[in-house]
């Protein structure tokens, strides 16, 4: 999918939650929150160390240097062997609330 094309019509006043399978952050893509998965929390130790090296992030919420946020879920499934070791499955519920703060979105996640 072409992320740039999909986000072409957004404005600066829009809150953008980007759903992207792999936790790869496009520095040019406008978003406030990116929700990703793909790495299964490493699934089996020590794969968690390898996925952190490859993607530069771990599971959970990461505040990016430019103020945007990335949330990476461990997910509920597996790949390869149907086993998880030190990487419990998770189902994530994300709540985004709007509030009047004068400059748009005042509180989220």
Does the pLDDT at position 35 exceed 60?
A: yes
Q: What is the dihedral of CA 60, 9, 26, 99, to 10 degrees?
A: -30
Look-up of token digits 């499934």: 77
Does the pLDDT at position 36 exceed 60?
A: yes
pLDDT tier, 43 (very low <50, low <70, confident <90, very high otherwise): low
Q: How confident is the model over 11-15, as a mean pLDDT?
A: 83
pLDDT tier, 100 (very low <50, low <70, confident <90, very high otherwise): low
């Amino acid at each position: 999918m072409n992320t740039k094309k999909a986000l072409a019509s957004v404005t600066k006043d829009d809150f953008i939650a980007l759903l992207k399978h792999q936790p790869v952050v496009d520095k040019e893509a406008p978003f406030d929150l990116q929700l990703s998965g793909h790495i299964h929390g490493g699934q089996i130790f020590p794969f968690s160390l390898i996925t952190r090296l490859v993607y530069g992030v771990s599971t959970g919420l990461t505040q990016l240097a430019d103020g945007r946020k990335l949330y990476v879920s461990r997910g509920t499934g597996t790949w390869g062997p149907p086993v998880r070791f030190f990487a419990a499955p998770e189902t994530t519920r994300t709540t985004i609330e709007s509030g009047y703060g004068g400059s748009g979105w005042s509180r989220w996640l």
